[in-house]
Structure 1
Amino acid sequence: MSRRAWSLIAALMVSIIYGVSFTIAKDVMPTYVKPYGFILLRVIGATILFWAVSFFGPKEKIQLNDFPRIIAAAFFGVALNMLTFFKGLNYTSPISASVIMVTTPIIVMILSAILIREKVKPRKVLGILIGLFGAGFLILYGRSIGNATNATWGNLLVFINAVSYAFYLIVVKKLMDKYNAFTFVKWIYTFGLLMVLPFGWSECQQIQWGIIPFDILWAIGFVIVFTTFLTYLFNLVSMRELKPTTVAVFIYLQPLIATLYAIVLGKDALTTVKIISAVLIFAGVYLVTQKVKTDS
């Protein structure tokens, strides 16, 4: 099998893992572990794994003037990103959360135009407006069955998470160009751990491990090992051979996977609002990412 084929499989695996994670994480919260306590568990576990793997990677030294960028990446990519997402998922449904996350490429386009002066064509502006309208429609009018106790607030928090992750992608770009990923990702998670510790410590202490069923323990382990650690490794494999625009396309599979998984388990249901929002978001993302066929 070619390296490109392996890269495509790796990108697909990332979407599958993220897609099912929306529902798996929802099973844990808030009955067994509260959102911020769950985040602290996730960051602690991932930090340990990234430090362990880094000992087998290249020996590079990070320059002191790059640490402010690492700290910013930790804030946007770990702290604000995870705190808003898990809290939002605690209030909304897996389908709503996954559809809103598809706006990330659109938000990246907006921030790139503002922060790094990337030229945005009229077609992309139209895509941005359509996609954001779809996300706003879902945030304002989306309602869900199951444990969606406050869908509007939860959807808004997930949207903030998408914006935060878009900032992270821009901030971390220069680090990826300068260092091997394993050189700096351990530091990103280390600083991220310090940032989420005050929020998650109290909820983490409240966890009653003795009464947690095995399937919930498995779900916690899945989020730590697969959703946090392995997805990053798979992304490294995919980005090695594929262009960013090609990798970004796979994020559009996440709502489909999340929807199918949640519906099969009877944990969510499709509504007219969700379908209309998804169509608008997909249309906007398509217009933003469409390119002349000269790349992979």
Structure 2
Amino acid sequence: MKNSVKVHAALFLVALIYAANYSISKDVMPHYMGPFGLVLLRIVGATLFFTVVSRMVAPHDRIIGRADNLRAVACGVLGIGLNQLLFFSGLNLTSPINASLIQTVAPIVTVLASVVLLGEKLTLPRLLGIVLAGAGAALIILGRSGPVAVAGQDGTLGNLFILLNATAFGVYLVIVMPLMRKYHPFTVLARIFLVGAVLAVPAGWQQVQTPDYAHFPLSIWAAIIYMVVCLTILAYLLNNWALKYASPALLGAYIYLQPALAVLIAVSLGKDTLTSAKALQALLIFGGVFLVSRKAKQPKPAPVPLEAVKD
């Protein structure tokens, strides 16, 4: 199999894993386990895995220095702890389609964070894209919750949690890059997941003790294993490998694919419905992300005068 085919296969599988999670998680929450309990299982499982692997592949690699250690703590808080707590809390309250659409705002946040933290230039097309995507996300958050929200659930609050989740993850992508370039990826992952576990354990301890595990159907156990193994560990390993060969444009294309797959899965399983309003909101967000993801054209070099060439 050619390397380019392997890259496309890896990125498609990652998109499919994330897309399926929006519907699979709804089978577990809130009837069998609360969102924080799932976060605890997912983060603790990934922490153990990445810690063991990091000791095997990079036993002498350590994050050193005050600045790098503080950055690792910030990455663990934003990219692992808050990111997952907000995501599963929001998904517990809102619909799979709404959650998948709002999630695509993350690249917008990454651009804004790059402008603020790295001093990158904010062009007019990017600014227009931010406005379009923001309008689409606002329409989803402020719109009617739909049939997925049940008594006692607040779909608007769930949408807001997903937006905050996308914001935390977008900032995380910017601040984690210096660590990924300086240390082995598994060293960084082991540390930031450990930080995330410090948040997840106290937050989810009660919810992980409450369920009646003895009466869990096999399908629920399969869903939990899927979220721990596939969603956290396998998806990252595939994504991390593909990043070595894939272009930013290709990664952007697969970002668009995730909500499309999530819609197909949710609708086919009867867990959500695709309305014309949601389609319009999706177009606004996708259009905004497309404009933001476009690179600014580099100015053409000035032509060299013929006389100068002769000289």
- Which category describes the TM-score, using the shorter chain as reference length? over 0.9
Whole-angstrom distance in 2 between the partners of 1:131 and 1:242: 25
Whole-angstrom distance in 2 between the partners of 1:3 and 1:32: 42
On the 8 A contact 2:82/2:168 being kept in 1, the answer is: yes
**Matched AA of 1:204:** V
Aligned to 1:62: 63
Tell me by how many angstroms 1:273 deviates: 2.2
Aligned to 1:44: 44
Whole-angstrom distance in 2 between the partners of 1:120 and 1:292: 10
On the 8 A contact 1:141/1:273 being kept in 2, the answer is: no
Which of residues 124, 127, 130 is equivalent to 1:128? Answer: 130
Whole-angstrom distance in 2 between the partners of 1:196 and 1:174: 25
Tell me by how many angstroms 1:62 deviates: 1.9
Aligned to 1:103: 105
Tell me by how many angstroms 1:115 deviates: 1.6
Aligned to 1:35: 35
Q: Which has the larger radius of gyration?
A: 2
Whole-angstrom distance in 1 between the partners of 2:148 and 2:141: 17
What SS does the corresponding residue of 2:32 show, helix, strand or coil? coil
Between 189-198 and 93-102, the greater mean CA deviation after superposition: 189-198
**Matched AA of 1:45:** G
Whole-angstrom distance in 1 between the partners of 2:24 and 2:112: 31
Which of residues 241, 247, 271 is equivalent to 2:275? Answer: 271
1:84 matched to 2:86? The reply is yes
With normalisation by structure 1, the TM-score equals: 0.95
Which of residues 206, 209, 212 is equivalent to 2:213? Answer: 209
**Matched AA of 2:93:** Y
Cα gap change, 1:103/1:276 in structure 2, threshold over 3 Å: closer, same or farther? same
Whole-angstrom distance in 2 between the partners of 1:144 and 1:9: 34
1:255 matched to 2:256? The reply is no
On the 8 A contact 1:131/1:283 being kept in 2, the answer is: yes
Cα gap change, 1:227/1:36 in structure 2, threshold over 3 Å: closer, same or farther? same
Aligned to 2:96: 94
1:291 matched to 2:295? The reply is yes
Whole-angstrom distance in 2 between the partners of 1:245 and 1:194: 35
Cα-Cα RMSD: 1.6
Which of residues 66, 70, 73 is equivalent to 1:71? Answer: 73
Tell me by how many angstroms 1:245 deviates: 4.0
Deviation string for 1:267-291 (max 9, x for gaps)? 1101222111101001111111123
Tell me by how many angstroms 1:125 deviates: 0.6
Aligned to 1:140: 142
Tell me by how many angstroms 1:265 deviates: 0.7
Between 147-156 and 231-240, the greater mean CA deviation after superposition: 147-156
Deviation string for 1:56-83 (max 9, x for gaps)? 3133122132211111000001111011
- Tell me, which stretches of 5 or more residues in structure 1 are unaligned? none
What SS does the corresponding residue of 2:243 show, helix, strand or coil? helix
% identical equivalent positions? 38
1:180 matched to 2:180? The reply is no
Whole-angstrom distance in 2 between the partners of 1:7 and 1:179: 24
Whole-angstrom distance in 1 between the partners of 2:80 and 2:178: 17
